[in-house]
Chains A and B, each alone.
Chain A
Amino acid sequence: MYKILKAEFIAPNVKSFIIEAPHIAKKRQAGQFIILRVHDKGERIPITIADSNPDEGWINIIVQGLGKTSAHLNTLETGDHLQDLVGPLGLPTHIENWGTLVCISGGVGTAEALPIAAAGKAAGNRVISIIGARNKDLIIAENHMAELVDEVRISTDDGSAGRHGLVTDVLQDLMDEGVKPDMIVAIGPLPMMAAVSNQTKAIGIPTMVSLNAIMVDGTGMCGACRATVGGKTVFVCVDGPEFDGHQVDFKELGMRQKMYQKQEAESHKCFLERQMKKLKAEQVLAEV
């Protein structure tokens, strides 16, 4: 069992966890992730390591409650335990001093972009972060990011914060202002990564994306996580998770991510019903 040293919501439905994991904390590098199980009948889900402290022996993960497992995970509190935790998995991000690095992130992807921005900065790059969200409340880790990089820009779909528009609009603004990105890292929802890759391919800026394939073991044993990159099949868990965005078959990956949509919805519904029952029982108890 793996102890949760601290758990707190940092945005609606997005929770940050500090978890005791001394071996992983010592080993992990930017871009790597863990696989966890919440309980003994749970599925294995991959989550990026957002931060770690090798001396104190903990890692930090940031989780968006999407379906059954992540929603269940986000009900856990400080002092609770995870059933299973394994890592660090995946290849570390390839970092070098490119010059100007633009880290584009959307949604919970910003948590995943943090370690890469930090490593990029440490390698000597000028790092600009572009954070996109549907609205102001859904922006996460903006302050944390601001501490790490040279400049943070925001875009929201509804204009409630930063530029009214998409991250690709902000990237265009930057370039119109004369910024010449040497490297772009895009992490977030698939359509966002596809849009950025599309935009940068046309102008020839190398772009790295982090693929969220559905995984099981995370060790290369099952092939659940396969994706097509440059016309070849890769296993995201061991060959990635980062790939050249200009080579990724986003359409196929998008379809593969929906492989269990029906079952996921069923599972989530069961979970919510159980939660409701628990809540009602507690209410009844409180009234007595």
Chain B
Amino acid sequence: MKRERPQSFNTVPIKERLTIPRQDMPEQDALQRSTNFLEVNLGLNPEQAVIEAQRCIECKNPTCMDGCPVNIKIPDFIQLICNEDFLGAADKIKEDNSLPAVCGRVCPQETQCEEVCVVGKRFEAVAIGRLERFVADYAMIHGNGSTKVFDKPEPSGQKVAIVGSGPAGLAVASDLIKEGHEITVFEALHEFGGVLVYGIPEFRLPKAILREEVANLEAMGVKFVKNFIVGRTMTIQELMADEGFDAVFLGLGAGLPRFMNIPGENLNGVYSANEFLTRSNLMRGYEFPEWDTPLYRAKHAIIVGGGNTAMDAVRTAKRLGADEASIVYRRSEEEMPARNEEIHHAKEEGVAFLNLVNPIKFIGDEQGNVIAAECLRMELGEPDGSGRRRPIPMKGSEFTMKVDMVVIAVGNGSNPLIAQTTPEIETNKWGNIVADEDGKTSMEGVYAGGDIVSGGATVILAMGAGRKSAAAISEYLKSKVGSVV
């Protein structure tokens, strides 16, 4: 990518930069944190941030930006950190990413920006994610959230409804409010943030960050309506025809838990990851009975799956007091889709990993409570459609484990609600909404993006899709004004 190089503020000679060690993330002690829900990573301090920023060698062709799905101007913000202009660095990131405090914490940097960092080819990559988080947190504390004063644009007189308050929806809201449109975000649940509030635990992403981001958007004029299910409380047609919305964005997420369809899955104590994490995070079951929603505190928990969701669930089970909290995954650790950091943290916290194992049956007692899991060992065969080696069951390898809780974290499908109530919107065979590059669906004025289009993916991809849709909606609204006049 050809671009103008940012002004350099790095005073360390190039050669010396390569000798600076990657700055460690200060974190809560593993033993201590495995009994509480406070955030694990504590964040770099300003001195560390500057040192880390000085590790950047200011490449002529900085590949890191290409690795970032929203092309954050990484070299630019790193130079601002070298200059100790942390608020300026935060603003620079916010030109491309409206939720840096979130992304700095949850993005899989090792497969994105940091994977392609030039320094990382020979040494450890520049810790771009940690720097992103540092400046975002700094700006929240010292710059009142959105650091730049927001000039209220001329009202356009046009209204946009955003359905779903996950990262996709929030990204659209943030872009379109700046153009003077009237924006309303409708959310089915009683809190805003999508998976970021109901799925990802407090110890990885404190809810206060989401609340702050939503408050910022509110201060900019975005209206937030909770407890409102589009398709039930009101249909898309009604929003457009009766409530006067000129365009609609659907950021519904991939909210349909998959089960394994094996015997015993409906026993008490067998949860979908969505239910287990929702009870814990959104409903704060870990503070029962101070909070009203009950949640199992298991002694022998297994979590089936190898993604971020599985890691979040197993670490939650551990924190709820499990003697044994184990990951059961049918492939090997190499194939695990979870972020490296999560796997690493889980191990430090005492989580056991049973790789190349797959449950085939859950066994219950007379009251219907799960008491055991029957499993098979697997071996890896030829690569399958996903490019990963296919797990094949080993004959006669059955064994039984004592368990009192099982969490199924094998992925999510698409929630069919909108498809049921709005047949005009085309969906594919997996139930995902069909949308083009710009998020345009088969219904005029209706756009979609994030997990509902891509299937379960990542926060930054959802935000990127949201931003593309926002640009397309903006064009669409302009063309609408043109055609009316």
Q: Report if A and B associate in a common complex.
A: yes
Please tell me if the beta carbons of B272 and A263 are within 8 angstroms of each other in the complex. no
A88: nearest residue on chain B (CB-CB)? Answer: B232
Given contacts A27-B233, A41-B284, A86-B190, whether A219 and B292 have CB atoms under 8 Å apart is no
Q: Is the CB of A86 within 8 A of B292?
A: no
Q: Which of A106-114, A166-174, A183-191, A220-228 contacts B (4 or more CB under 8 A)?
A: A220-228
| Contact of B266 with A233 in the complex, beta carbons under 8 Å | yes
29 A-B contacts, Cβ less than 8 Å apart?
A23-B234, A27-B232, A27-B233, A27-B234, A37-B190, A41-B292, A42-B292, A43-B292, A44-B283, A68-B292, A85-B227, A89-B232, A219-B415, A220-B255, A220-B415, A220-B416, A220-B417, A221-B255, A221-B256, A221-B274, A222-B274, A223-B259, A223-B272, A233-B266, A238-B416, A256-B266, A256-B368, A259-B268, A264-B294
Also in contact, A267 and B266, with CB within 8 A (given A27-B233, A86-B188, A252-B368): no
B285 to chain A: closest CB distance in Å?
Answer: 9
- The 8 tightest CB contacts between A and B, nearest first, are A255-B368, A263-B294, A222-B275, A86-B227, A221-B255, A43-B292, A43-B293, A223-B272
Contact with A along B223-240 (1 / 0, CB 8 A): 000111100111000000
Measured CB to CB, the closest approach of chain B to A31, in angstroms, equals 13
* Identity of the chain A residue whose Cβ is nearest the Cβ of B276 in the assembled complex: A222
Q: In the complex, which residues of chain B have a beta carbon less than 8 angstroms from the beta carbon of A221?
A: 198, 255-257, 274, 278, 415
Docked pose: A90 CA to B275 CA in angstroms: 18
Q: What separation, in Å, do the CA atoms of A85 and B225 have in the docked complex? A: 12
Task: Confirm or deny: A245 has a beta carbon within 8 angstroms of a beta carbon on chain B.
Answer: no
Q: Are A216 and B190 in touch, CB under 8 angstroms?
A: no
- Tell me, yes or no, whether B334 is within 8 Å of chain A by CB: no
Supposing A221-B255, A228-B266 touch, asked if A86 and B278 sit within 8 A by C-beta, the answer is no
B376 to chain A, nearest CB (A): 22
| Contacting residues of chain A (220-272) with chain B, CB-CB under 8 angstroms | 220-224, 226-228, 233, 238, 252, 255-256, 258-260, 263-264, 266-267, 270
CA distance A139 to B446 in the complex (A): 50
A24-B233, A255-B268 known; A238 vs B417 contact (CB < 8 Å): yes
Task: Determine whether A74 belongs to the interface, using a CB cutoff of 8 Å to chain B.
Answer: no
Interface string of A24-57 (1 = CB under 8 A from B): 1001000000000100011110000000000000
Given A43-B293, A256-B268, check contact A223 B229 (CB 8 Å): no
User: What A residues does B368 contact at CB under 8 A?
Assistant: 252, 255-256, 258
Q: In the complex, which residues of chain B have a beta carbon less than 8 angstroms from the beta carbon of A256?
A: 266, 268, 368
One of B265, B271, B274 near A233 (C-beta < 8 A): B265
Interface residues of A (CB under 8 A from B): 23-24, 27, 37, 41-44, 68-69, 83-89, 216-217, 219-224, 226-228, 233, 238, 252, 255-256, 258-260, 263-264, 266-267, 270
- Choose among B190, B232, B294 the residue that contacts A260 (Cβ–Cβ < 8 A): B294
Q: A219-B255, A222-B275, A255-B268 are contacts. A270–B289 as well, Cβ < 8 Å?
A: yes
> How many residue-residue contacts, CB under 8 A, span A and B?
114
Kindly supply a per-residue 1/0 record for chain B positions 273-302, scoring 1 wherever the CB is within 8 Å of any chain A CB and 0 otherwise.
Answer: 011001100011001111111110000000
- Whether B417 lies near A226 (C-beta < 8 A) is no
Q: Per DSSP, are chain B's interface residues mostly helix, strand or loop, or mixed?
A: loop
* Cβ–Cβ contact B272 & A267, under 8 A: no
| 6 more A-B residue pairs beyond the given contacts A23-B233, A89-B232, A263-B294, with a C-beta to C-beta distance below 8 A | A23-B228, A41-B292, A86-B228, A219-B229, A223-B274, A255-B368
Q: How far does the alpha carbon of A197 sit from the alpha carbon of B291 in the complex, in Å? A: 37
Residues of chain B within 8 A of A226, CB atoms compared: 266
- Tell me the bound Cα distance from A42 to B284 in angstroms: 10
Minimum C-beta distance from A192 to chain B (A): 20
A85 and B274 alpha carbons, distance in the complex (Å): 21
Of the residues B234, B268, B269, B290, contact of A41 by C-beta under 8 Å: B290
CA distance A41 to B191 in the complex (A): 12
Interface contact B266-A252, CB-CB below 8 Å: yes
B275 and A255 form a contact (CB under 8 A): no
Tell whether B189 is near chain A: CB-to-CB under 8 Å.
yes
Shortest C-beta distance, B198 to chain A (Å), equals: 8
Chain B residues contacting A87 (CB-CB under 8 Å) are 229, 232-233
B290 to A, closest residue via Cβ: A41
Residues of A within 8 A of B261 (CB): 233
- The minimal Cβ–Cβ distance linking A92 to chain B, given in whole angstroms, is 11
Min Cβ gap B260→A in Å is: 11
A223 to B226, CA, bound (A): 21
- A88-B274 Cα distance, complex, nearest whole Å: 22
Cα–Cα, bound, A57→B266 (Å): 39
B367 is an interface residue with CB less than 8 A from chain A: yes
Q: Residue on A with the closest CB to B412?
A: A221
B283 with A267: CB separation less than 8 A: no
> Contact at A219–B188, with CB atoms within 8 Å?
yes
| CB-nearest residue of chain A to B269 | A259
- Whole-angstrom CA separation of A118 from B290 in the bound complex: 41
